């Protein structure tokens, strides 16, 4: 299984909202993203749905600057839809 196929599988979440955001980023931005953003994306995919959702909607925050930057990017993508 290729890395993109594996990531696509991990983008399938229990919450449709997360599916849309994560798959949208994978399809449109992941391949061109810098390595730190790609690593942060993989980190986010390892999170439980409630924790990931809390980060995306601003109910929680992270001390990791790279993850925080990617969360900001994901929020901007959602707001520009």
pLDDT exceeds cutoff 80 at 65: yes
Q: Note the pLDDT tens digit of each residue in 7-36.
A: 999 999 989 999 999 999 999 999 999 999
CA distance 49 to 31: 23
What's the half-sphere exposure (Cβ side, CA atoms, 13 Å) at 78? 16
What global pTM score does this model have? Answer: 0.92
CA distance 67 to 49: 16
Q: Would you state the pLDDT for residue 11?
A: 95
**CB of 56 closer than 8 Å to CB of 21:** yes
C-alpha dist (Å) from residue 2 to 9, 31, 75: 11, 13, 27
Map out the domains of the chain as residue ranges: 3-79
Does the domain spanning 3-79 belong to CATH 1.10.150.250?
yes
Residue 3: band (very low, low, confident or very high) from pLDDT cuts 50, 70, 90: very high
């Amino acid at each position: 299984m290729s890395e993109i196929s594996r990531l696509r599988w991990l983008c399938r979440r229990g919450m449709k909202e997360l599916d849309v955001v994560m798959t949208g980023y994978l399809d449109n931005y992941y391949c061109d993203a810098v390595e730190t953003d790609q690593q942060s994306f993989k980190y986010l995919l390892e999170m439980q749905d409630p924790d990931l959702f809390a980060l995306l909607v601003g109910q929680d925050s992270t001390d990791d600057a790279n993850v925080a930057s990617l969360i900001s990017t994901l929020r901007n993508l959602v707001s520009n839809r």
